[in-house]
Structure formats: C-alpha cells, structure tokens
C-alpha cells in the first residue's frame, strides 16, 4: 500500500492518444471530430500503472485535474469526522473522476486505486479552456456530470428504500451492465473491490454482504469464488434487485 509522493501527479509519461484509445466511445471524446480529439490529446497525460492502494487525490486537496480511468478501477470515498470512510463510487475504464471538485476548488472526496490501474490526467483549467472552443466537448462534459448526478440519485434511492438483498442484487446487476458495455462478459467477472468495500458502498455490514453472497449462491443466482462472480440466473437476480426495467441506459 505505498503511495506516490505527489498523489495523482502521475509522473511525466507517455502521451495518451484518445484517437487510438478503445474507450473513446465511452469517455470524453464522444462525438468529437478527429482534429478536436487531437487537441484534447495535447492536454491529457497518461499515468504509468498505479499500484493497488495508490491515491489519485486526497480529500481536501486542491482541485486541479479530473481523471479518466484507462484500465483498472478506482474508488472514491469521503472520510467522516470520526474517521471512517464512505465510498461514493466505483469507477471503470472510460469513466471520469473528480468532477465534484470543480465548484469548491478542492476535492471533497478521495480517490484510490483498487488494483493496478492507469488513468489519464486531465488538467481542468486547460480542459475548461478547450471546452470554450469545442462545443461538443463542452456538451460531453456536461452530459458526464449530468449522468453522475443521476447515478448518485439512484444510489440515494437504493440506500433509502432497498433491503440488503435488493442492494446487493442491484449492485451486481449494475456492474454486469457496465462490464457488458465495455465488451466484457456480463455474467462472469472479477470484483476488484473487497467485501468490506462493497458493504461500505451499499450501506451494509460486511457480514450481511457475506451472508447474502452465500444465500444468492444457494438460491442458484450466482456462483461465487472469492472475487470471481458468475451470474447464473441474471433475470432472477434482476427481479430480486427491484430495479425498473431500464428505460434508457448509456455508459
């Protein structure tokens, strides 16, 4: 669990190239023309692989950049006055981290890497300038922020109304969908976060999560083997989740 001296500084590295990047349809370049993508490229720097536990930025730190996940996964969390953390999100390739820092000028939460991960560092001041010149970039940033708001509000509903069972089912269903969109199997995947982190995110005790995994397995919904998950009955899991039949779904 060692951390880079300057968290999030992603030591000077190879240029990222959005136009080569397989994530360009999920990430900021969506609907940008080729020349615009090149301009975006010039302000972005790709980090070297960050080791598990590395800090992208810390809570309270001055806001300077947003980050796009390239490979791996990241959690964001808030630390409460009495020292325990509340995970506010998990982020996968193509997703943007740090948007909550724009307003106050400091990150209201911390971002930590869950496994070996590479990210793109996008200095916000420059991105903002560019957003002034490229209307599609401006729109894409706003769409991304809008989606984050929507997703967070869906989490409010989960935490406020759902049972433990529904929460975990929902969690798995949503992960499944995100993996599917990224071209991975929607039924077999590896959880990069610990049981503890899942529990924390879902507002449950770790023991509850553990018991539910066991129960889901006994019911034939999933096969669990440590962090490996195999969803064996996705439609049943979906029913358990109490989710609406998705009207529209993007990222």
Partner DNA sequence: CGCATGTTTGACGATACTCAATGTGTGTGG
Partner DNA sequence: CCACACACATTGAGTATCGTCAAACATGCG
Binding site for a copy of itself (CB under 8 A): 60, 78, 80-82, 84, 86, 88-89, 99-106, 108-109, 128, 131-132, 135, 138-139, 141-150, 152-157, 159-161, 200, 202-203, 242-245, 247-248, 250
Which lies closer to a copy of itself via its Cβ, residue 20 or residue 246? 246
Q: Which of residues 59-98 bind DNA (CB under 7 A)?
A: none
**Of these partners, DNA, a copy of itself, none, which one is at the site of residue 4 (CB under 5 to 8 Å by kind)?**
none
How distant is the alpha carbon of residue 203 from its chain centre?
A: 17
Q: How many angstroms separate the CA atoms of 128 and 114, rounded?
A: 28
Q: Which of residues 100-139 bind DNA (CB under 7 A)?
A: none
**Of these partners, a copy of itself, DNA, none, which one is at the site of residue 234 (CB under 5 to 8 Å by kind)?**
none
Question: 143: how many CB neighbours lie within 10 A of its CB?
Answer: 15
Please check whether residue 170 is in contact with residue 158, taking contact to mean a CB–CB distance below 8 angstroms: yes
Which lies closer to DNA via its Cβ, residue 102 or residue 164? 164
Classify strands 118-123 and 65-71 as parallel, antiparallel or unpaired. Answer: antiparallel
The reply on whether position 204 binds DNA by CB under 7 A is yes
Residue from 162, 172, 160 nearest 237 by CA: 172
What's the CA dihedral at 1, 107, 153, 84 to 10 degrees?
A: 50
Each residue 8-47 as x (binds DNA by CB under 7 A) or -, in order, gives ----------------------------------------
Question: 251: how many CB neighbours lie within 10 A of its CB?
Answer: 18
Q: Enumerate residues 6+ apart whose C-beta is below 8 A from 27.
A: 18, 21, 68, 94, 95, 96
User: Which position among 211, 232, 233, 242 is part of the footprint of DNA (CB under 7 A)?
Assistant: 211
Residues that bind DNA (CB under 7 A): 163-165, 194-196, 203-211, 213-214, 224, 226-227
């Amino acid at each position: 669990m060692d951390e880079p001296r300057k968290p999030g500084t992603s030591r000077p590295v190879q240029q990222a190239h959005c136009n080569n990047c397989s994530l360009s349809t999920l990430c900021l370049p969506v609907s940008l023309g080729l020349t615009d993508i090149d301009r975006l490229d010039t302000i972005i720097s790709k980090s070297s692989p960050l080791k598990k536990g590395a800090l992208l930025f810390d809570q309270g730190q001055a806001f300077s950049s947003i980050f796009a996940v390239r490979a791996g996964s990241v959690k964001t969390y808030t630390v409460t006055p009495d020292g325990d953390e509340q995970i506010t999100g998990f982020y996968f390739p193509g997703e943007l981290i740090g948007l909550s820092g724009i307003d106050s000028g400091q990150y209201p939460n911390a971002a930590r890497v869950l496994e070996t991960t590479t990210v793109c560092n996008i200095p916000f001041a420059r991105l903002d300038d560019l957003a002034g010149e490229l209307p599609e970039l401006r729109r894409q940033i706003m769409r991304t922020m809008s989606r984050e708001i929507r997703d967070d509000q869906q989490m409010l509903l989960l935490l406020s109304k759902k049972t433990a069972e529904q929460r975990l089912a929902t969690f798995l269903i949503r992960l499944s969908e995100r993996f599917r969109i990224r071209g991975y199997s929607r039924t077999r995947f590896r959880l990069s976060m610990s049981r503890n982190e899942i529990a924390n995110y879902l507002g449950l005790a770790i023991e509850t999560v553990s018991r539910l995994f066991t129960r889901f397995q006994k019911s034939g919904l999933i096969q669990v083997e440590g962090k490996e998950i195999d969803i064996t009955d996705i439609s049943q899991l979906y029913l358990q989740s109490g989710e609406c039949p998705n009207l529209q779904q993007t990222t």
